[in-house]
């Protein structure tokens, strides 16, 4: 995947969220139901402008956050918290590690944007439906949340699996350093 397509992949999801805001703005009532209990009943209302501004800001933050991750990785690699950081951020493999990390961040960014677009779509759909009846497919939102959480957990597990392992030579070097350090501490001092 080249850098241009990689950087513009989150853009369509951001544009979808903005188009939702512009489409639903005239359709939504002044007070928008934004929270629901576990049975799907309305639990809390907010003003239309609050909901639309919050949604727009959330979408923008998730979109821009991805680009700051690239900047952070490139300009401030010392702030990256990885197992075996010295190995993964070594000059010889930094670009490869950076590209792998950006793929994970891309997944996080895009999946978060899809999740937020889906949640707000349900909120908008409910508030535009004037009968205020819970649609039969509203329970799908719980599956949506579960699938999002599962995808994030699997991604983090893959991340951990990838970056917690280093070649055996690196592990052996660390063990040898510990042995040498212990041997130096155990040697009795000569009078």
> What local confidence, expressed as pLDDT, does residue 19 receive?
92
The C-alpha atoms of residue 90 and residue 93 are separated, in whole angstroms, by 6
Domain range for 177 is 3-186
User: 111 lies in a domain?
Assistant: yes
The C-alpha atoms of residue 55 and residue 109 are separated, in whole angstroms, by 15
- Considering Cα of 31, then 32, then 34, then 39, what sign does the dihedral take? positive
Out of 2-6, 118-122, 151-155, least confident range: 2-6
Q: Report how many domains make up the chain.
A: 1
User: Which is nearest to 92 in space by CA: 170, 2, 164?
Assistant: 170
> What local confidence, expressed as pLDDT, does residue 53 receive?
92
User: 13 lies in a domain?
Assistant: yes
What is the number of alpha carbons within 13 Å of residue 90 lying toward its C-beta? 9
The C-alpha atoms of residue 133 and residue 162 are separated, in whole angstroms, by 47
User: 191 lies in a domain?
Assistant: no
- pLDDT tier for residue 186 given thresholds of 50, 70 and 90: low
Map tokens 């889906």 to a residue.
Answer: 118
């Amino acid at each position: 995947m080249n850098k241009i397509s990689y950087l513009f992949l989150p853009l369509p999801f951001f544009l979808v969220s903005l188009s939702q805001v512009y489409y639903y703005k005239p359709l939504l009532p002044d007070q928008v139901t934004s929270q629901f209990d576990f049975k799907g009943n309305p639990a809390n209302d907010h003003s239309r402008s609050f909901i639309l501004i919050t949604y727009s800001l959330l979408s923008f933050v998730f979109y821009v956050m991805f680009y700051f991750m690239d900047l952070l990785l490139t300009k401030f690699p010392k702030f990256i918290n990885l197992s075996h950081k010295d190995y993964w951020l070594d000059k010889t493999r930094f670009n490869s590690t950076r590209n792998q990390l950006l793929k994970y961040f891309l997944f996080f960014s895009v999946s978060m944007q899809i999740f937020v677009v889906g949640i707000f779509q349900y909120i908008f759909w409910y508030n535009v439906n004037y009968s205020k009846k819970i649609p039969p497919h509203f329970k799908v939102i719980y599956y949506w949340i579960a699938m999002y959480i599962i995808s994030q957990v699997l991604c983090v597990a893959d991340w951990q699996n990838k970056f917690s392992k280093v070649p055996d030579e690196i592990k052996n070097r660390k063990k040898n350093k510990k042995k040498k350090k212990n041997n130096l501490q155990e040697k009795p001092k000569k009078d």
